[in-house]
Structure 1
């Protein structure tokens, strides 16, 4: 039994080491140009070992994005936990999540505009990112799961759009989010005209 436990722990450590090495490469290179050979070399393992943990580059990319999405979500939750007003928590959550992505060289590289940004593609297809966004919206106020899911998908698109094509500055982006996104996602209790139909 001890052998089974140790092997699963080794697999977890190996996976983290590979993803950490990939993150370092993503921080200094165009994400699309980072290949499996590069990652294996940076992680200090053979290609065969790398493929034992990740069957191809897309699987590795997805694993990396999902791991970072969970980390970002945990950071975000801690940062906005004390904000009682749902609308302010939403606005702060959106602006903070963009700041966290932009402050990470490895994550911000996924939204570079030289080519079709790979971050937008993965964010759109990721069930993990959709689920984390839905969970965040449900933390603001309970709602119909179908509505929450659609809002989460839309929010992911809005945020990836701003990450790819930023506003003039942080104040401009905050104003855009406050004026257009917050009323649609979290309507004011006092203004029934802003509630979605």
Structure 2
């Protein structure tokens, strides 16, 4: 797969090939239709119009397929969010806006809410046990913003790894709690509170 380097980033990521993208699109359609656990590799190959051998050449097993799909969706959401945040002046403002917009993108993407609806246990390890590849991508981007914020004087001094982990954990909590938030509160208002919380946390004058 070709290597893609994000603008202003030292984080290199692998961009799916056109064939892989088509397979991931088919996998996403299957998940939206019946969920992850009820989708087989044969279902994905059939929906994509390719042989199982072609699918297995790109993704050797179901775990790799689902991980790649989730990673693609998170990276795409992050890239869109960073574009929307790029006009802000300071690194703190860009970071806060990028995190909030990433959360917004992910909760509006039908894939994650669908997984939370029918297969929530598949996401539980990424909340309770370990960070996945997609979360580590966001973690690395967050640490870069923190470094930029220290250089421009907009972000306070602190342990960058601990600060980045905290911010990603907070964002993950919002995304995985979206069904509760939609039932109990106004999601837009809660996002606004997330923005206030993150900005206050990063300021140099607290």
What's the TM-score, normalizing by structure 1? 0.73
> How far does the alpha carbon of each residue in 1:17-43 deviate from its partner, in whole angstroms, 9 at most, with x for none?
111111222333323332212211111
> Using the alignment, how far apart are the partners of 2:145 and 2:27 within structure 1?
28
Determine if contact 1:111/1:120 at 8 Å carries over to the other structure: no
* Unaligned runs of at least 5 residues, structure 2: 1-15
1:174 to 161, 180, 192: 192
Q: Tell me the equivalent position of 2:137.
A: 128
Structure holding more helix per residue: 1
- Residues 150-173 of structure 1: per-residue CA shift (max 9 Å, x gap): 322222221121112234122133
Deviation at 1:75, TM superposition (A): 0.8
Q: CA deviation at 1:54?
A: 0.7
Partners of 1:172 and 1:48 in 2: how far apart?
46
Residue matched to 2:171 = 159
List 4+ stretches of structure 1 deviating above 6 A: none
CA distance in 2, matches of 1:141, 1:50: 45
Q: Distance in 1 between matches of 2:90 and 2:140?
A: 22
Q: How far apart, in 2, do the equivalents of 1:28 and 1:119 lie?
A: 21
In structure 1, runs of 5+ residues without a counterpart are: 1-10, 192-197
- The two structures have a TM-score, normalised by structure 2, of 0.71
CA distance in 1, matches of 2:115, 2:85: 25
SS of the counterpart of 1:31?
A: coil
CA contact (8 A) 2:88 2:94 kept: yes
For residues 166 and 38 of structure 2, what CA distance do their matches in structure 1 show?
29
C-alpha spacing 1:131/1:110, structure 2 compared with 1 (3 Å): farther
**2:200 paired with 1:183:** yes
Instruction: Decide whether the 8 Å contact of 1:113 with 1:164 is kept in 2.
Output: no
- 2:65 aligned with 1:60, yes or no? yes
How many equivalent residue pairs?
Answer: 177
Contact persistence 2:35–2:118 (CA under 8 A): no
CA distances 1:25-66 after superposition (whole Å, capped 9, x unpaired): 233332333221221111111222211111111111121222
**Alpha-carbon offset, residue 177 of structure 1:** 4.5
Q: Relative to 1, partners in 2 of residues 1:18 and 1:136: Cα closer, same or farther, differing over 3 Å?
A: farther
Q: Give the counterpart of 1:73 among 69, 73, 78.
A: 78
Of 147, 150, 166 in structure 1, the residue corresponding to residue 162 of structure 2 is 150
- Report which of the two structures shows the higher radius of gyration computed on alpha carbons: 1
